[in-house]
Copies of this chain bind each other. A is one copy, B any other.
Amino acid sequence: MLSEFDLIKHYFRRNRPGKAVLGIGDDCALLAPTPGMQMAISSDMLVEGRHFFPGADPRMLGHKCLAVNLSDLAAMGARPLGFTLALALPEANPDWLAGFSAGLFALADAHDCELIGGDTTRGPLNICITVFGEVEPGQALRRDAARAGDDIWISGTLGDARLALAGYWKEYALGEDEHLLAAARMHMPTPRVGLGRALAALAQPPAALDISDGLVGDLGHILAASSVGATLEVDALPAGPVLSRQPLEWRRRFTVAGGDDYELCFAARREDREAVIAAGVASGTPVTRVGTIDAEAGLRFVDGSGAPVSMQVSGWDHFSGG
């Protein structure tokens, strides 16, 4: 049996220079923040059987648990610096640890985000990551920054992750290839860090968040924080490559209230339309304009002709939800 110290040494301590003044191995890690920058901090906890299936592929899991945290930095417009990892494991399985750490570090290295500390213990499988980034004062993408007349934008595409879940749940019959493609979006989300940084460079930084619990529920947080309403053009919502080949009813349902998308939803000034498109190009991230922020409270859906569309949807809740 691996000891706790051996486990950390073999799978999580790396012999490479990092940004931290002091990394893994003392009571605390030490970071030297860039003078004048603000620090952005977020924590996410992933539990087996709730956020991922028992027996989930450890490499994809290593990717996903860091990706959802980097997505929070992206939604704030922050540049990643480092993260801590706290891990409860039923047993110290070398194959699992090798896969998990490989998936974790592949994504961490792609974003120059260093593992600086953490904790390991025995227990029901639980992965808690806290991520640190930095952002210029006044430039963070806050939820309370939306104003009436702003454009609403979505990065990438929505709904394929939720479609994959529908496939697992047998809600919906998908071809094998279709399900594999959709499942890749569910298990390996892409944090939109580059786009977030580009948006944070705008003179009037957009209101933004990342869509984890479905567009409607998450957009609702921007509307509440900013005391505004919105109109969404439901068929302008960018469906994922697999979902876009499914019937209209499913496309509408899973773009409007999917889950696990980890795309950015943001509200930018109308005069920044070209700047937003340029930010998408600069970061290699598709961006789609999908609606408008209204002074009137509430969320309305319209079709391409501007006619109202009725949608019955709600966000995901970990306690009252499914």
Asked if residues A84 and B319 are in contact (CB atoms below 8 Å), the reply is: no
Tell whether A49 is near chain B: CB-to-CB under 8 Å.
yes
Would A121 and B47 be within 8 Å (CB), given that A41-B31, A132-B41 are in contact? yes
Q: B210 near A119 (CB under 8 angstroms)?
A: no
| Contact B28 A122, beta carbon cutoff 8 Å | no
Q: Are A319 and B3 in contact (CB under 8 A)?
A: yes
Of chain B, the residue at the smallest CB distance from A33 is: B33
Q: Say how far A259's CB is from chain B's closest CB, in angstroms.
A: 14
Interchain CB contact under 8 A, B128 and A43: yes
A258 within 8 A of B: no
Report yes or no: B317 in contact with A5, Cβ–Cβ below 8 A.
yes
Kindly report how many copies of this chain are found in the complex they form together: 2
Interface string of A16-56 (1 = CB under 8 A from B): 00000110011111111101101111111101111100000
Give min CB distance, A83 to chain B, whole Å.
9
Contact assessment for A49 and B123 in the assembled complex, using a CB-CB cutoff below 8 Å: yes
List residues of chain B with CB within 8 A of the CB of A225. Answer: 25-26
Known contacts A3-B320, A135-B30, A320-B1; is A44 also within 8 Å of B126 by CB? Answer: no
A85-93, A103-111, A235-243: which lies at the interface: A85-93
Measured in the bound complex, the distance between the Cα atoms of B141 and A75 in whole Å is: 35
Is residue A67 within 8 Å, beta carbon to beta carbon, of the partner chain? no
Interface residue tally for chain A (C-beta within 8 Å): 72
For the complex, give the distance between the alpha carbons of A45 and B320 in Å.
Answer: 25
Q: Contacts A2-B320, A86-B44, A140-B22; is A28 near B72 (CB within 8 Å)?
A: yes
Given contacts A38-B30, A122-B50, A143-B26, contact A88 B45 (CB under 8 A): yes
The smallest C-beta distance from A135 to any residue of chain B, in angstroms, reads 7
- Interchain CA distance A33-B128 in the complex, whole Å: 24
Q: How far is the CA of A196 from the CA of B145 in the complex (A)?
A: 41
The contact of A133 among B28, B35, B86, B140, by CB within 8 Å, is: B28
Minimum C-beta distance from A79 to chain B (A): 12
Knowing A41-B84, A84-B41, A128-B128, say if A318 contacts B30 (CB, 8 Å).
Answer: no
Known: A43-B86, A47-B121, A47-B124. 9 other contacts (CB 8 A): A4-B320, A22-B142, A33-B33, A39-B39, A45-B121, A50-B121, A123-B126, A124-B124, A130-B130
**Chain A residues engaging chain B, CB cutoff 8 angstroms:** 1-5, 7, 21-22, 25-33, 35-36, 38-45, 47-51, 72-73, 75-76, 78, 84-88, 92, 116-124, 126, 128, 130, 132-133, 135, 137, 140-143, 208-210, 225, 317-321
